[in-house]
Amino acid sequence: MSWRTYVWLALALSFWGCRALPPPAPPPAFTSGQELLVKLQTGKPQVQSFEARGRLTLLSPQQNYSGTSLIKSRLPATVRADVLDFLGRSVLNFYTNGREVEVLSPKEGKLYRGPATPRNLAAFIPPAVTLPQALRLMSGDLPLSSGQPSRWAYDQAQGRYLLEWRNSAGGLQERLWLEAEGLKPVQEEWFGPDGNLRFTAEFSDFGRLSPGLPGQVVLKTRQPDAELRLVYREMLLNPSLQDSDLVLPRSQSITEVPLKP
């Protein structure tokens, strides 16, 4: 077979492959951001609590840790997170009810306790993210803004919708990107009153745990540079959680240390 035959055969196969590719599915037909938001929220459960198991990684200027995690939360502002190493030993236990913070370090034998300031919450939640925002992001409860979006658009190249909300002064407050197929929220941006980006969140691996729920969440802040990564193995929405399910264990051998505001 001559080299010309090889060339023509390769060209024919490439053209045949191009013809065999199905055309991209057209996006749902929406006429307004309000209509798109209504569709996004239709059938969506109101998240009041959640319980999740998986892998948790925190990278921050204060501390870095990673391990198997169990997170229990009652929205809007109560959460307990237990982090274990690969041998099943407790690395860190975190609790807050929005008023105070408790951080138990079993290795040190110390329970750090103080007010729920951003500095103290940073043991588990990246700074620049409020506690209620963080818990809603962990459970995929979006958008964070209330009311109707001020702008919407469709990016045909990426196959994504964009919803935007503005604050009372007219500045940009929130951006939310949705995949056109299934309207899955894949990216979130939140801006402060000064117009600067406060944090971003990325969501992926939808459908593995439950329809509409992300299996992975990555939350990032710029000032300071911090990142919280969550890879879920299990996620249960709206379990019945008692106070006893959320408080940290106590022991006489533990020394309590006050946290500064």
pLDDT tens for each residue of 95-116? 999 999 999 998 899 999 999 9
Determine the pLDDT at residue 235: 95
Q: Domains for the chain: give ranges and CATH numbers.
A: 33-258 (2.50.20.10)
Q: Who's near 125: CB < 8 A, 6+ residues apart? A: 131, 134, 228
Instruction: Tell me the average pLDDT across 205-212.
Output: 88
Q: Which of 163, 121, 123 is nearest to 146 (CA)?
A: 163
Determine the pLDDT at residue 240: 96
CA atoms of 152 and 101, how far apart (whole Å): 39
3-state secondary structure of 6: helix
Residues 72 and 51: beta-carbon distance below 8 Å = yes
- Confidence class of residue 65 from pLDDT cuts 50, 70 and 90? very high
Q: Who's near 75: CB < 8 A, 6+ residues apart? A: 47, 48, 49, 50, 132, 135, 136, 139, 141
